[in-house]
Structures are given as C-alpha cells and as structure tokens.
Amino acid sequence: MPANLVFDQQMMRRCIELAASAKKSGNSPVGCVITLETEILAEAGELCPAGRNPFAHAEILVVAAAMEAAGREKLPLATLYTTNEPCFLCSFAIRESRIGRVVFSVVTPEIGGATSRYPILSARDLARWGAPPRIEQGLLADEYDKTRREQGED
Ligand SMILES: [Zn+2]
C-alpha cells in the first residue's frame, strides 16, 4: 500500500474518531483534520446543533484553527480531511483559504459542495478563487458508515 494512502487512512480514522465524539456530545457526527505535509495543523469535531452556533461546522472550525496555526490565510499546500462532503458554508471557507486538496468519506446529499447541483467546492468558473482543490471522495466510507450505524445514525 502506498505510504500516502496509509497516511490518508490514518487521518480519516482520526476524523471518524472526532465525529464519534461530536455525536456523543449531541452534535452532528462530523470530524475534520487539516494537515501540512505529515503534520496535523488543526482538528475538530462538529459543534452544532448542540452548541447552538449554526456556523460551528467541523470544517469551519478547522480552517480557522489551521490559519491561526500556520500564521497565514492561504493554505494551498494543505490537505483537509473530513468525514462528510463539505457543505456550501464549509466549501466557501475552503475556497477562500485556497486549501489545495480535500479528502472526504461520504457524500452530503443536497448541500454538498462537490456532488450537489451547486458545486461551490469544485467550480472552476469563479475567478476570485482560481483553480479548485483536488477532491477525493469515498475514503473509508464503509468504515465510517459502520460507525454511524453503530451509533444509531440514520
Ligand atoms: Zn459545513
């Protein structure tokens, strides 16, 4: 197995753990990690709805924390891993920060930034943002689905 796939799987397993903790706290089961090469810049689980902040999506929290950790607003060499396809809100933050690669496990029906009717994450015709990130979907989807089923998520 290629070393980068092993690393990608390690990062996604961490996302799945963060999603499970979020779920235990009454939030949506989403976990997210941002890496720069082999270093974790930031990680978080979702903090809504229990946190009563509609913007506290895991990806939003992690993008902000990664900017802080890196000391800059643009992160083109970073990879964002997340259990769920980033929604419109999170896709905006990812595009603004120019994150170069996005890896997610399962698709998000209707409001996903890559697979829905409004592909904010993958659109190429927005001059402000330039080229979209490389997007890889489906990593450990069976494993994440199994975890969600065990937690009674439908
Ligand atoms: Zn989101």
pLDDT value, residue 135: 98
| pLDDT tens column, 48-94 | 999 899 999 999 999 999 999 999 999 999 999 999 999 999 999 99
Decide: 60 and 93 in contact? Cβ < 8 Å. yes
- pTM for the model stands at 0.95
Q: 2 alpha carbon to ligand 1 midpoint, in Å? A: 30
| pLDDT tens column, 104-113 | 999 998 999 9
Active-site residue identified among 59, 68, 73, 136: 59
Closest CA to 97 of 129, 127, 119, 71: 129
pLDDT value, residue 101: 98
For the cut 70, the answer to whether the pLDDT of residue 118 exceeds it is: yes
Q: Which residues pair with 82 in a beta bridge?
A: 32, 104
For the cut 90, the answer to whether the pLDDT of residue 3 exceeds it is: no
Q: Which residues pair with 40 in a beta bridge?
A: 35
Cis, peptide link before residue 49, omega less than 30° from 0? yes
CA 38 – CA 46 distance, rounded (Å) = 23
pLDDT cut 70: percent of the chain above it:
98
CA 56 – CA 68 distance, rounded (Å) = 16
Buried b (16+ CB within 10 A) or exposed e, 90-129: bbbbbbebbbbbbbbbbebeebbbbbbeebbbbeeeeeeb
Write down the mean pLDDT value for the chain: 95
pLDDT cut 90: percent of the chain above it:
90
CA 5 – CA 119 distance, rounded (Å) = 26
Q: Can 96 be counted among the known catalytic residues?
A: no
Residues with CB under 5 A from ligand 1 (ion): 57, 87, 89-90
Q: 1 alpha carbon to ligand 1 midpoint, in Å? A: 31
CA 2 – CA 123 distance, rounded (Å) = 29
Q: 30 alpha carbon to ligand 1 midpoint, in Å? A: 9
pLDDT value, residue 152: 73
pLDDT value, residue 79: 98
pLDDT value, residue 153: 61
